[in-house]
Structure 1
Amino acid sequence: MKITTKVPLLALAIILAFFFALSSMQYKVMRDALYSTWLNNATETSKGVAKYAAEWLDEKLVIIDMMAHAISGNYSSEQVQRVMDTPLLRDQFVLIFGALEQDGKPLSNTPSWDPGADWDGRKRAWYSQARAADRAVFTPPYNDSATGRLLISAVAKIEDHDTFKGAFGGDIELQTIADIINEVDFNLKGYAFLLDRNGTIISHPDTRLNGKMIDTFFAINTPETSDGFIKTTAEGKEILLKFTPLELKNRETSLMIGVALAPRKIMAETEAFKIIALVLVLAGTLITSLVLYFALNQLLLKPLVALTKSADNISLGELDIKIDGVERTDEIGLMAKAIERMRVSITFAIDKLKKG
């Protein structure tokens, strides 16, 4: 193989290796940065949605607390009904309900609400929950038996100053918050869902999972809060999970927002960059190699071929030729001068022999 072929091929191999190494490093840096950015964005989004949901729910508790205070300051059964009929409660809650300790009969701001003749509010779980709390609290989420709507109730006790008289509360359409949460899809790379601390899925984009435990779909037993994402699987596919609790003002709630991301979908964006980088590497290598080839050909290989031909001609006795390159100051020039001196020396020796 001629040196005119070897040199460009060697240069091509070196350039290709360099560009490939550089591209690989850039790809890794870009991939890690993209991955980290997606996780950070998902974290901030979940915090934002959790904050919005918490503020929305806090507002409902404050309203119930205000109504409880209005009843306690001027207690009577008539005052209880007047407060329950307040337009603000009708605007903010699906239904206002309650019962007094004296008989447990239903109270409501909706005359058509009829839980039945045997209904006794004192036997309901929300009644006991309200009685045990100092301020308004939330019941666990539930689906209304009549409408199937996802509800949660804010309940508080009814007092005559400090004497317990009963309990009341308001139903809240939790589906409003659930819909906002479920609409978060992280650009089709994941989703958010609503659940409680025990792992019961309350609202999931796949409605078949609503009401089921988290371990029926994800390979974890209970939701755990952490700074980072939890690596697990769902239906045999890798999933990243993060749970953000709803933080109410000086109150507790079992509600949480879960975020599920599909790593393969996140990394799919880097595949496009990988292909582009590969094309650019090949194109850059080809262009650089061609430029280097023509540069070597003009500056080194072509002069070397010319000098080699001149040396061959001298060896054949052609001493009246012109040696190209003697004017150059680089290594090619040095070689040309050496051949020129050889030509002159041979010419001088031959002339001397002829005269001798």
Structure 2
Amino acid sequence: MLSSLRLRILFATLTVIAVALIINGAASYFTVESHNERQIDQNLRAVAHGNAQAIEEWVDARVGMLEALDAVATSDHPMPALEQLLVSGDFMNTYIADPANGDVVFSASETPEGYDPRERPWYRQAVEAGSTVVTAPYEDATSDKLVVTFAAPFYRNGELVAVAGGDVAIDAIVDIVSQIAPTPSSLAFLASADGTLVAHPDSAMSLEPVSELSPTLTAASLGELPGPRRRVMRCWANRTSCCVASLSTAPTGNWWWRWTNSRPPPGCVA
């Protein structure tokens, strides 16, 4: 009887100790995991925000340069200003168009035969917006580089008098994005608001939809960030692994860059 009671007490004691150890171990695990996740998230956010800000400053500088052409919007001799903009902003070509007759002056090329700037997307986007715009990236047929066009309308007494534009390669930005890797297992990519990949470590992914990286990454999901707000999101990269991504946005006229750092953490749960 006494032996049986001792066994019961011993068993109960061992059970309590085992349960306590399990609870303590689980609490320690989740505490460490939570701490690690917070550190990772803070690091990703800092990298995303810093580079998004750098891109925004790059865009703002060229917007300011282009808008300075307002001083020669009605000039008969805009070439010196166009050439200065070409050099100072590292543009591939700069130009200004007359909305009245469609005449256009290029700083780095001849005017193509039959060219009417009023029919071009950059011209129409600027006029429709009534302010400076930046087109979505496209591949230049001559240089094979990724290029964007900045375009700005100019007015006098409320009347459109000129629309200026400039083409600039974004290969420097592409190189920066491709080299960013906060951790050995992470990567960064840049996408426009329509969900088109602008920069990725794999150059073959350029101008592909972001859904090529993950079915859950779409223009709609990226569009959930309406301003320079940053957050952490989790998504499935494929059926066997997942990623944690920190997103940041930088406004560029009529569209948004999406700067994203992602990493496939071990044992993550969607």
The verdict on a shared fold, with TM-score over 0.5 as the criterion, is yes
- Which amino acid is the alignment partner of residue 148 of structure 1? D
What runs of 5+ residues in structure 2 fail to find an aligned partner?
Answer: 1-13
Matching residue of 1:95: 93
Is 2:147 the partner of 1:151?
yes
Distance 1:157 1:81 in 2: 17
Rate the CA distance shift 1:265–1:203 in 2: closer, same or farther, 3 A.
farther
Contact kept in structure 2, 1:136 and 1:154, CA below 8 Å: yes
Distance 1:189 1:153 in 2: 34
Over the matched positions of the two proteins, sequence identity in percent amounts to 19
Distance 2:155 2:30 in 1: 65
Contact kept in structure 1, 2:231 and 2:248, CA below 8 Å: no
Residue 204 of structure 1 and its aligned partner are, at CA, apart by 1.3
Specify the structure having the higher radius of gyration (Cα). Answer: 1
Q: 2:58 aligns with which of 56, 59, 66?
A: 56
- Which amino acid is the alignment partner of residue 80 of structure 2? R
Rate the CA distance shift 1:141–1:197 in 2: closer, same or farther, 3 A.
same
Matching residue of 1:344: none
Contact kept in structure 1, 2:249 and 2:256, CA below 8 Å: yes
What count of residue pairs does the alignment treat as equivalent?
A: 246
Contact kept in structure 2, 1:217 and 1:234, CA below 8 Å: yes
Rate the CA distance shift 1:258–1:81 in 2: closer, same or farther, 3 A.
same
| 1:170-212 deviations in Å (ceiling 9; x for gaps) | 1122222222222211122311111112211111112222111
Q: Secondary structure at the match of 2:148?
A: strand
Contact kept in structure 1, 2:45 and 2:247, CA below 8 Å: no
Residue 216 of structure 1 and its aligned partner are, at CA, apart by 2.6
Contact kept in structure 2, 1:38 and 1:266, CA below 8 Å: no
Matching residue of 2:120: 124
| 1:40-64 deviations in Å (ceiling 9; x for gaps) | 2101210111111111111111111
If the length of structure 1 is used for normalisation, what is the TM-score? Answer: 0.61
- Which amino acid is the alignment partner of residue 184 of structure 1? I
Q: Cα RMSD over matched residues?
A: 2.9
Contact kept in structure 2, 1:130 and 1:155, CA below 8 Å: yes
Contact kept in structure 2, 1:90 and 1:96, CA below 8 Å: no
Distance 1:58 1:91 in 2: 14
Q: 2:31 aligns with which of 29, 32, 35?
A: 29
Matching residue of 2:72: 71
Which aligned pairs between 1:196-235 and structure 2 lie closer than 5 A? Answer: 196-220=192-216, 221-222=218-219, 223=222, 224-225=224-225, 228-235=231-238
Contact kept in structure 2, 1:189 and 1:266, CA below 8 Å: no
Q: Secondary structure at the match of 1:65?
A: helix
Q: 2:244 aligns with which of 240, 243, 254?
A: 240
Distance 1:102 1:44 in 2: 48
Contact kept in structure 1, 2:96 and 2:164, CA below 8 Å: yes
Q: Secondary structure at the match of 1:119?
A: coil
Which has more helix, going by share of residues?
1
If the length of structure 2 is used for normalisation, what is the TM-score? Answer: 0.79
Q: Secondary structure at the match of 2:242?
A: strand
Which aligned pairs between 1:1-356 and structure 2 lie closer than 5 A? Answer: 25-68=27-70, 70-72=71-73, 75-78=74-77, 80-86=78-84, 88-92=85-89, 93-110=91-108, 113-114=109-110, 116-160=112-156, 162-220=158-216, 221-222=218-219, 223=222, 224-225=224-225, 228-236=231-239, 237-247=241-251, 251-264=253-266
Residue 25 of structure 1 and its aligned partner are, at CA, apart by 4.2
Contact kept in structure 1, 2:232 and 2:246, CA below 8 Å: yes
Residue 21 of structure 1 and its aligned partner are, at CA, apart by 6.7
Q: Secondary structure at the match of 2:266?
A: helix
What runs of 5+ residues in structure 1 fail to find an aligned partner?
Answer: 1-12, 268-356
